[in-house]
Amino acid sequence: MRLHGKSVLVTGAARGLGRATALACAAEGADLTLLDICADLPGVPYPLGSPGQLEHTAALCREAGAAVLTTVADIRDLRAVREAVPRAEDRFGRIDVAVNNPGIAAPSGKPVHEIGEEEWSLMIDVDLSGAWRVIREVGKAMSARRTGSIVNVASTAGLVGYRHFAGYVAAKHAVVGLTKAAALDYAPTKVRVNAVCPGSVRDDAQAEGRMLAEIARALDVPVHEHEKTFVEAQPMNALIEPEDVAAAVVFLASDESRQITGSVLTVDGGFSIR
């Protein structure tokens, strides 16, 4: 029960890594605010999380004993984030942990000179600026209480380059930079900011993830072959499971990591060390 008595905000919680993280936090005793846009975005060529998926995440967390607040909000909208954070604080008294998880993998699959300005802006707005907006809104109260943990879910794309994914790579590299800068800003008030960089995460049926399949689609890799293709690039010969990433987030959220800030924890089976 490493998160017993803590209030955790998870964004992008409807499915995928957001759901896996929420379930792991619930199992460790946390109460949860689950936030998701619960709508599709023009320009993203695949469905995003739905209201039903967000409620399913909430139901699973309640089964694990957590008190849960669900919130539909678009992290591209500062006003929406500014309204969502006080709702969580009103319900649970405070936010002890904020997990910035939302991310889109597309529009991608093209060289830099073919990326449209709207496509570029969309990727940066969701994958980078969304994290900044949440940090902006939770950071002041955490600093005032002189305690808190912020965990940003980046990617191995924040550490290395990927062909035909310039927007995603740029955004995730920037998330790592934001993590380090924010960690220095908040260190005097004992608020910690860290990042997790997952590798190729399997699209688990329980989590309803589809990120790996969408990356494969952008690379023109046949869907029925994509797991084998990604495994071949893994030094440990296995895809990352959503639970592996969630466990890393729980560690950084918990008091076990009380002296860790500004760190980047890779969960990639050794992919980025080559």
Secondary structure of the chain in HEC code, one letter for each residue = CCCCCCEEEEECCCCHHHHHHHHHHHHCCCEEEEEECCCCCCCCCCCCCCHHHHHHHHHHHHHCCCCEEEEECCCCCHHHHHHHHHHHHHHHCCCCEEEECCCCCCCCCCCHHHCCHHHHHHHHHHHHHHHHHHHHHHHHHHHHHCCEEEEEECCHHHCCCCCCCHHHHHHHHHHHHHHHHHHHHHHHHCEEEEEEEECCECCCCCCCCCHHHHHHHHCCCCHHHHHHHHHCCCCCCCCECHHHHHHHHHHHHCHHHCCCCCCEEEECCCHHHC
Per-residue pLDDT, 99: 98
Q: How many CB atoms lie within 10 A of CB 274?
A: 7
CA atoms within 13 A on the CB side of 206: 9
Concerning whether 168 is annotated as a catalytic residue, the answer is yes
pTM: 0.95
- Domain 7-258 adopts which CATH fold? Rossmann fold (3.40.50)
Between these two residues, 255 and 211, which has the higher pLDDT value?
Answer: 255
What digits encode the pLDDT tens for the residues 142-160? 999 999 999 999 999 999 9
For the chain, give the number of residues: 274
Q: What is the mean pLDDT of residues 29-54?
A: 96
Q: Which of 46, 162, 168, 186 is catalytic?
A: 168
Q: What is the mean pLDDT of residues 51-60?
A: 98
Instruction: Sketch the domain layout of the chain as residue ranges.
Output: 7-258
State the Cα–Cα distance between residues 127 and 115, nearest whole angstrom: 16
Confidence of residue 220 (pLDDT cuts 50, 70, 90): confident
